[in-house]
Each structure stands twice: as C-alpha cells, then as structure tokens.
Amino acid sequence: MVDKDDYLEVKVYSGGIYPGKAQQIVDQGVKGVISGGKISDNAKKIFDDSGIWHRDNVEPGDLEQESPDLEEGE
C-alpha cells in the first residue's frame, strides 16, 4: 500500500552507482532505484540492507510510458 507521503522521483545515473552515491540515495529516503548504468555489488548490498529495491542496466525502451489521452486545449 502506498503511503500518502510516498512519491516517485526518477533520477538517471547512466554512469553507474557506486557505494558513496548509494549511501547518498539511502540518506534521501528513497524507496527504489532504477539505473541506466551498472549498480556495483557493494552499492546493491547497501540498497539491500536498507530495504531499497533496485534495477540496473535498464534501457529507456524497457520503461513503458502511460499518459492519458488529452484533447487539444485541455
């Protein structure tokens, strides 16, 4: 169940995520991470230990965008 205070913020890390950056992300209170680059094994451990879900090497085409059909002028 989504808490009313939860939100989704997308940040793209094409160069990968390593332990220092992973700890910064944990400190921000993030719930999940999607990275276009590699997440190092040590960074994955930091995420796992903090209960943060993660996916790495995600291509833009792997993400489906859904948007409502809006009529022109809305």
Residue 67: strand, helix, or coil:
coil
Structural domain includes residue 10: no
Structural domain includes residue 53: yes
DSSP state of 65: P
Residue 63 reports pLDDT greater than 80? no
The pLDDT-based confidence of 14 (bands split at 50, 70, 90) is confident
Question: pLDDT for 30-55, tens place per residue?
Answer: 888 888 889 999 999 999 999 999 99
For the whole prediction, is pTM greater than 0.85? no
Are residues 46 and 23 in contact, defined by beta-carbon separation less than 8 angstroms?
yes
Full domain range(s) for residue 32: 19-59
Question: pLDDT for 16-35, tens place per residue?
Answer: 899 999 999 999 988 888 88
Structural domain includes residue 48: yes
Structural domain includes residue 42: yes
Report the number of distinct structural domains present in the chain: 1
Structural domain includes residue 2: no
| Residues 29-33: contacts with CB under 8 Å, at least 24 apart | 31/6
Structural domain includes residue 9: no
Structural domain includes residue 28: yes
